[in-house]
Each structure stands twice: as C-alpha cells, then as structure tokens.
A and B are shown apart, each in its own frame.
Chain A
Amino acid sequence: KAGVTQTPRYLIKTRGQQVTLSCSPISGHRSVSWYQQTPGQGLQFLFEYFSETQRNKGNFPGRFSGRQFSNSRSEMNVSTLELGDSALYLCASSLDKGEAFFGQGTRLTVV
C-alpha cells in the first residue's frame, strides 16, 4: 500500500509569489490534514479536509487555503508569500478520526 505522497519535496519562491503544494493520501483515506513545521513554532495545524469539505481550520491568515478533490487528493495554496512562510509543510491522511499517516513533507524556502 503506497504511503502519503507530497510534491514537490523542495521549493524555492520569492516574496510576493504564490505556491501550490500537492498531497496524495493513502488509498481509501478520506481525511487530509496540513501542518506547518518551523523551528520556532513547532508543528501547527493549518486545516483538514474530509470528503471535499473543510472540516477544521487552524489559526492562519487567509493567504493559506486548501482544497480536496473527489479522489481525496488535496492541494494547499499560499498567496503573497512572506519570508516567515518558509517551513516544512506536512500532509497527513487518515480514514476518519484517530491515527494519521504523514508524508515526507515539502520544504518551502521563501527568499
């Protein structure tokens, strides 16, 4: 069974640009969550999608958005990038509630 796949693994963007990150969950998993990991703030929850609907949302500005497709694949978009958005972005999938399985992450660097 394939694990959670995140693409791309590494990304360098310039301030003010926008970026889209992709996540393919484990087959059969309907919940996809996104987390931001930084040395200073640790792991912070961004949002969760379940059956194409946002089910939970963390405390991030509106520049951070996401969506989920009918095949459960999810994308996360960050507009008007800031230097502080540099982080490891992790995607996790689960059946519904309970244990989550994480991807390798996308390392975003904003310059």
Chain B
Amino acid sequence: AQSVTQLDSQVPVFEEAPVELRCNYSSSVSVYLFWYVQYPNQGLQLLLKYLSGSTLVESINGFEAEFNKSQTSFHLRKPSVHISDTAEYFCAVTSWNQGGKLIFGQGTELSVKP
C-alpha cells in the first residue's frame, strides 16, 4: 500500500522569506508524485509533478520540488513567498498500477504574513 506523510500541518512564514513544505512517501513500486494547491472553497490545482526523468521539477510561479528516491521525499520549496501563496498544499502519490487513484497527504497550511 502507498502512503504520504506531510510533516507539517501548518507553516507560518513572512513575505519574501523562503519556505519548504515537507513530503515523504511510502511505496513498493515506482511512483509518480504531485503537489496540489487548494485555495478556500476551491478545488485542487496541480502545482507540479514528477513522472520520470529530471528529479528537480519546477512550476511557473516559482515553486520547485525535488524527487529523492533514497529518502523517499518530494519536498516543495520556494525561495521567496508572496501573500498570494497563502493556501493549503497537498502532496500526492500514485503509480503505474493504480490507474487514476491518488493517495494524498493530510495537507500543509501555508500562511504568509506581511
């Protein structure tokens, strides 16, 4: 069975500071990994994904995540956050034999303060 652990339920940070949201996964087969963001009363928006190839993946709004197979991690980072980054972030895992089924972590609430 697969599982995802997001190590921090809440992360407060000041505007323009760097941030890291941690995600560890467990799986017996090769994985596909995702970060989704959810704003209040909205659905989930895909932030970035790792399917194969380069272990460092980037989003268009400055976030990046690195797939580390030995540490079974997929941490999300941003060098300088904005107020508009305030949201809940979810890490998710699936694999080739799971079809469209995603296993999500419990989420990390990122709160950016001025």
Residues of A within 8 A of B (CB): 4, 6, 31-33, 35, 42-43, 45, 48, 50, 55-56, 58, 90, 92, 94, 96-105, 107
Contacts and interface: CB of A to CB of B under 8 A. Distances in A.
A104 B100 contact: no
A3 to B, nearest CB: 9
A56 B99 contact: yes
A91 B94 CA distance: 17
Given A43-B90, A90-B44, A104-B43, A99 B101 contact: no
Describe B's contact surface by its main secondary structure: mixed
A34 to B, nearest CB: 10
Interface string B44-61: 111001010000000000
Interface stretch (B10-18, B70-78, B103-111): B103-111
- The 8 tightest CB contacts between A and B, nearest first, are A43-B104, A31-B100, A102-B43, A102-B44, A56-B101, A55-B99, A104-B43, A48-B100
Nearest to B49: A99
A39 to B, nearest CB: 10
Contacts of B103: 45
B89 to A, nearest CB: 12
12 contacts: A42-B104, A48-B101, A56-B99, A56-B100, A96-B100, A97-B96, A98-B32, A98-B51, A99-B46, A99-B49, A104-B42, A105-B43
Contacts of B32: 97-98
B102 A33 contact: yes
B34 interface: yes
B98 interface: yes
Contacts of A4: 43
Given A90-B43, A99-B34, A31 B102 contact: no
Interface string B26-52: 000000101010000111111001010
Nearest to A104: B43
A55 B45 CA distance: 24
B41 to A, nearest CB: 8
Given A42-B107, A43-B90, A43-B104, A101 B99 contact: no
